[in-house]
Amino acid sequence: MSNLVQLQRRMAEAVMRPLARGDRMHRRVGGRSVARQAAEFIKPNDRLSSFERLEIYNRQYWFRVLDSFAEDFPGLRAVLGPAAFDRLARAYISQRPSRSYTLTVLGSRLVGWMAANPAFLGARGDLALEMAKLEWAHIQAFDAAERPALAVAKAAIGPESCLQLQPYLHLFRFRYAIDDLLLAVQQAESEGGLSAPRRQQLLRNLAPGPIYLVVHRADYSVHYKRLDAVAFRLLRNLRRGAPLGEAMEAAFKGSTAPPETWPSLIEGWFANWTELGWFCA
């Protein structure tokens, strides 16, 4: 291993090390003085010691990733509250540090981490998990690939056809009207910030579910679209790879809709989904 690689790894380890109280760099790590360690690979200047120069990078790294995390998950911050969200963010990033050149994937392991660490979620754990799922799906929907759309009306579609859904499309059954909450939080943030009274009001007024939600992209923006239960099951069955006939039969099983209305319902759904470009070749 070259001296340069060793130096880079040493620098990265120091910069990414979690901050101490007061958002300062730790003075001692593993029983060793960090000031002495810093002096081994960073030169002081006429204003700052080696430790102080290294601390600048350590603090700025953490301020940047914490700010990015908060920008990605404003809804989760609203559910937990600022203090609890800050504790969760620091613990998550400490245990699941960024391994990518881009901060876009910073929250890629958040949902699984939250499920394994419920102590950070407080009394609204179920709601917090649903919000994290929705906000991570929002990030994925914005960045995921888009394949050439399939014009279902013009394609040779039959009961044995297996229709593919766009990679950016995500399907969720939520226990709460989580989309309304997130949109309200986003609006409040764009208008200057979410106050504590407004946050409490939004949580008190949160409508119960279930809701069936599609997170998708159109015209370079991410959108949320609610479906009824049958339409949702149909799309979910198609996503799982079921042939069209089997997917429709399973979707309508137990439905209260009269069988004579099924063809018109399906025709309307497929016309809308095709217009949105949800099916791909």
Encode the chain in three state secondary structure.
Answer: CCHHHHHHHHHHHHHHCCCCHHHCCCCEECCEEHHHHHHCCCCCCCCCCHHHHHHHHHHHHHHHHHHHHHHHCHHHHHHHCHHHHHHHHHHHHHHCCCCCCCHHHCCCCHHHHHHHCHHHCHHHHHHHHHHHHHHHHHHHHHHCCCCCECCHHHCCCCCCCCCEECCCCEEEEEEECHHHHHHHHHHHHHCCCCCHHHHHHHHHCCCEEEEEEEEEEECCEEEEEEECHHHHHHHHHHHCCCCHHHHHHHHHCCCCCCHHHHHHHHHHHHHHHHHHCCEEC
pLDDT at 271: 92
Please indicate, yes or no, whether residues 25 and 143 belong to a single structural domain of this protein.
no
136 plus 252 within the same structural domain: yes
Task: Tell me: do 53 and 173 sit in the same domain.
Answer: no
Task: Read off the pTM.
Answer: 0.91
9-18: average pLDDT = 91
Same domain, 13 and 89: no
pLDDT value for 158: 85
Is pLDDT above 70 for 92?
Answer: yes
Same-domain check for residues 3 and 104: no
Domain assignment of residue 199, yes or no: yes
Q: Are residues 131 and 112 in the same domain?
A: yes
The reported pLDDT for the residue numbered 167 is 96
Residues 214 and 82 occupy one common structural domain: yes
pLDDT of residue 1: 56
Q: What percent of the chain has pLDDT over 90?
A: 86
Q: What does the pLDDT average to over 70-94?
A: 97
**Which of 21, 39, 63 corresponds to the end of one domain?**
63
- Domain assignment present for residue 13? The answer is yes
Same domain, 145 and 49: no
* pLDDT attached to residue 153: 66
Domain residues for the domain of 185 are 73-280
One domain, residues 86 and 174: yes
Confidence of residue 98 (pLDDT cuts 50, 70, 90): confident
**Per-residue pLDDT, 185:** 96
Q: What is the pLDDT of residues 178-226, one digit of tens each?
A: 999 999 999 999 998 899 999 999 999 999 989 999 999 999 999 999 9
Residues above pLDDT 70, as percent of the chain: 98
Q: What is the mean pLDDT of residues 226-235?
A: 97
Number of independent structural domains in the chain: 2
Mean pLDDT (the chain, rounded):
94
Query: pLDDT value at position 209?
Result: 87
